[in-house]
Amino acid sequence: MRPAIALIVVMFLSSSVAAPADNSVSVALAGLDGQQSTLTLSELDALPRVKITTNEHGTQHVFEGALLGDVLAKVGAPAGKAIRGIELTNVVLIEARDGYKVALDLAGTDAATRKDRVIVANRMDGSSLDASRGPFQLIVEGDLRPARAIRMISAIRILRLR
């Protein structure tokens, strides 16, 4: 009888920490010229999907999401050949619900500038991200350690340094 109770408790706890599957959560987006938007889970799923395999603390995981550039297009972010001159001073500030922040140079996130991809992921190893990671997480392909793999993303803003 005890193993059955333990199994029920584990199943209950597992279900209570899962990230929401609906669109009750979103990421706030802000562009250079004051453009504002949000990104919901269904909008992220509608973008072209990318998978990146990473190694986190000795464990391999496969993350799935959309290119950060495709997400930033919602707020008019420059991309490709448009990233030149003054646009090379643009940074992307990603913020998490827990206050953690990461800054990336916009050119370094662009598929036309570098081969390693940067994605906003909502799936890991075939499942939705749990509450400790998601529902949105940044994945930077090629990073040797996951310091920039910011979890629980709440906002993404593009800023220009001068």
Domain ranges of the chain: 2-160
For residue 23, the model assigns a pLDDT of: 53
Q: Span 86-114, mean pLDDT?
A: 95
142: left (phi over 0), alpha (psi -120 to 50) or beta: left
| Structure confidence at residue 162 as a pLDDT band (50, 70, 90) | confident
| Structure confidence at residue 57 as a pLDDT band (50, 70, 90) | confident
For residue 24, the model assigns a pLDDT of: 67
- Architecture of 2-160 per CATH? Alpha-Beta Complex (3.90)
139 C-beta neighbours (distance < 10 Å), count: 26
Q: Span 83-93, mean pLDDT?
A: 95
